[in-house]
Amino acid sequence: MLLVLSEEHKAHLGSLLQAGGPAIGELGRLAVELLRRGAAPRACETAARKLNIDVDIVQHGVEGLTYLLTECSKLMISEIDFQDSIHVLGFSDELNKLLLQLYLDNRKEIRRILSELEPKLPSYHSLEWRLDVQLASRSLRQQIKPAVTIKLHLSQNEDQTAQVLQTDPSTLLHLIQQLEQALGEMKTNHCRRIVRNMK
Amino acid sequence: QRFRFCGDLDCPDWVLAEISTLAKSSVKLKLICGQVLRDLLGEAMEYEKILRLTSDAKLELGDVKATIAVLGFVLCSAAKHGVDSESLASELQQLGLPKEHASGLCRCYEEKQSCLQDKLRARSLRLSRLGSVCWRVDHTLSSSELREVDEPLVHLTFNMQDGECGGTATIPMVLSADKFRVLLAELRQAQALMNSLI
C-alpha cells in the first residue's frame, strides 16, 4: 500500500535536498535517535552547524524523516511501495536508495519501540498469602473459622499497587478450580486450531 | 518425582539445570552458601568475595548469578517447608549434586536453619502492625453545657504501621472512664485467650 504524504510533510522532506547525500546519513541517524531517546535539540544544532544549514531546516528534515520512518514501519510497507511513495518527492535515485536502506535497516527496531506504546492493563507482579484460623471474637467464643488473606501485587507502567483480599478455603478451592478450567481451555481443539494457524 | 524441599512438588526445571552446572564445577560451595545466607538473613552480601571464589572455577558472570539464585532458592525453600538437613542432603544427591557439595551446603543450612525460619516468619504477610500506644488522663472541670463536670477522660493514640500501603497511621481517640473500663475488660479477655494458646 502507498503512503500518501501531506504537503507540509513533503515540504519538510524537500528541505533534505538542500542538505545533500552525506548529510542524509547524519540526519537519518538523528531521526532514529529521536525515536530511541526523544528530542535532542542540541544534536540538531551541532548538525546544522556542521552541515552549514539553517537549524530550522535540520529540525524539520529530521522530524519529517522520523514521521516517514514511523508511518512506514507501522504499516509494514514493502520496498516497492516505499520507493513509489517517496518517488513523489522527486529525489535523485541515490537519495531514494539511501532512504530505502535507512528504512529497511531500522524497521525492526522501530516496530519494537512502537509496540511498547500500547495501553497496558495492570499486570501480575507477585502474591503473598497467609492462612489464619479465627478462634474467638468479642461476640462469640469457641469458634474455628479458617480464612486465607491474600495480598496481590500488581504493576502498571512502573507503578506498584497492592490489593488485599480475604476468602474462606471453599471459595479459594472454587477459585483454583476456575483458573484450572481456564488453563484447560488452551488444550481444547478450538484453541489448538487457532494457535496452530497463528504460528 | 516429588521433593520435600520443593513443597512435595516437582523440582523446577531451572533448578535442575543449575544443579547439574554446580555438580560439574569445583567451586567452594560452602563459602558461597555462607554469603548467600548473609543476604537472605538481611545482612549485605559480599559480592566481590563470591566473584573471587568463582573466578578460580572460571565461571562467567551469568553462571555466578545463576549459582547465587539456585542456592538462594534451595536454602529458602528448605527452610520454608521445614526440611531437616539430612533429608535435604539426600534429595540434592538424588538431583545429581555430588556428596561433598551436598553435605557442605547442608552443614551451612543446619547452622542457620532456625535464624532463616525466624527471618521468613517476620517477613510473612501482615496487614497492619501496632507501633506504639500513647495515653493521657485528663480531668474535665467544667464545660459550656454544665458548670461542674468533674469527670476523668482518657486520651489514647495508636501509632500503626499500615501493611496495605506501607505508611504510618495515627489513630487518636478519647474515652470516658466507663468506656475505658469496657475496653480494658474486653482486651483482658482477649489476652487470656491468647495466653491459653501459647
Closest in B127, B193, B197 to A164, CB measured: B127
pLDDT value for A21: 67
pLDDT value for B165: 67
Are A128 and A153 in contact, with CB atoms under 8 Å apart? yes
Same domain, A109 and A129: no
B167 to chain A, closest Cα gap in Å: 13
Angle between helices A21-37 and A7-19 (to 10 degrees): 130
Of the two residues B113 and A36, the one the predictor is more confident about is: B113
Interface probe for B, chosen from A126, A133, A134, A138 (most Cβ of B below 10 Å), is A138
pLDDT higher than 80, residue A22: no
Same domain, B57 and B120: yes
The reply to whether residue B125 touches residue A141, judged by beta carbons under 8 angstroms, is no
> pTM of the full predicted structure?
0.68
Judged by CB atoms within 8 Å, which residues 7-46 of B form the interface with A? none
Same domain, A103 and A11: yes
User: Which residue reads 569445583 in cell numbers?
Assistant: B26
B54 to chain A, closest Cα gap in Å: 31
Kindly report which listed range (A50-54, A133-137, B55-59, B131-135) carries the lowest average pLDDT score. B55-59
Q: Domain ends where: B94, B124, B154?
A: B124
Q: Domain ends where: A87, A117, A147?
A: A117
Same domain, A147 and A191: yes
CA separation for the pair B17, A63 (Å, rounded)? 49
Give A92-112 pLDDT, tens digit per residue.
888 888 888 888 888 888 888
pLDDT value for B81: 93
Residue A2 lies in a domain: no
Same domain, B146 and B110: no
**A136 inside 8 A of chain B by CB:** yes
Same domain, B68 and B146: no
Same domain, A71 and A152: no
Closest in A130, A141, A162 to B124, CB measured: A130
A47: confidence class by pLDDT, cuts 50, 70, 90: confident
Same domain, B117 and B147: no
Of the two residues A93 and A39, the one the predictor is more confident about is: A93
The x, y and z cell numbers of residue B186, run together, are 474486653
Q: Domain ends where: A67, A101, A117?
A: A117
In the three-class reduction of DSSP (H, G, I as helix; E, B as strand; rest coil), residue B169 is classed as strand
Same domain, A34 and A77: yes
CA angle B92, B98, B100 (to 5 degrees): 100
Q: Using a CB cutoff of 8 Å and minimum separation of 24, what contacts does B4-13 make?
A: B4/B81, B4/B83, B4/B87, B4/B91, B5/B74, B5/B77, B5/B78, B5/B81, B5/B83, B5/B87, B5/B88, B5/B91, B5/B92, B6/B77, B6/B81, B7/B77, B7/B80, B7/B81, B8/B81, B11/B95, B12/B73
Same domain, A104 and A153: no
Kindly report which listed range (A77-86, A138-147, B68-77) carries the lowest average pLDDT score. A77-86
Same domain, A154 and A177: yes
CA separation for the pair A158, A13 (Å, rounded)? 37
Same domain, B65 and B19: yes
Domain of A156 in residue numbering reads as 123-198
Same domain, B144 and B117: no
CA separation for the pair A4, A73 (Å, rounded)? 14
B149 to chain A, closest Cα gap in Å: 32
Number of domains making up chain A: 2
Same domain, A129 and A112: no
Same domain, A14 and A100: yes
Same domain, B76 and B16: yes
pLDDT higher than 90, residue A147: yes
Number of domains making up chain B: 2
Same domain, A51 and A144: no
Same domain, A188 and A111: no
pLDDT value for B154: 95
Domain of B189 in residue numbering reads as 129-197
Same domain, B55 and B145: no
**Average pLDDT by stretches of 10, chain B with 198 residues:** 88 89 78 86 82 75 85 92 91 88 89 91 88 94 91 94 78 94 94 90
Instruction: Report the percent of chain A where pLDDT is more than 90.
Output: 26
Closest in A129, A135, A151 to B193, CB measured: A135
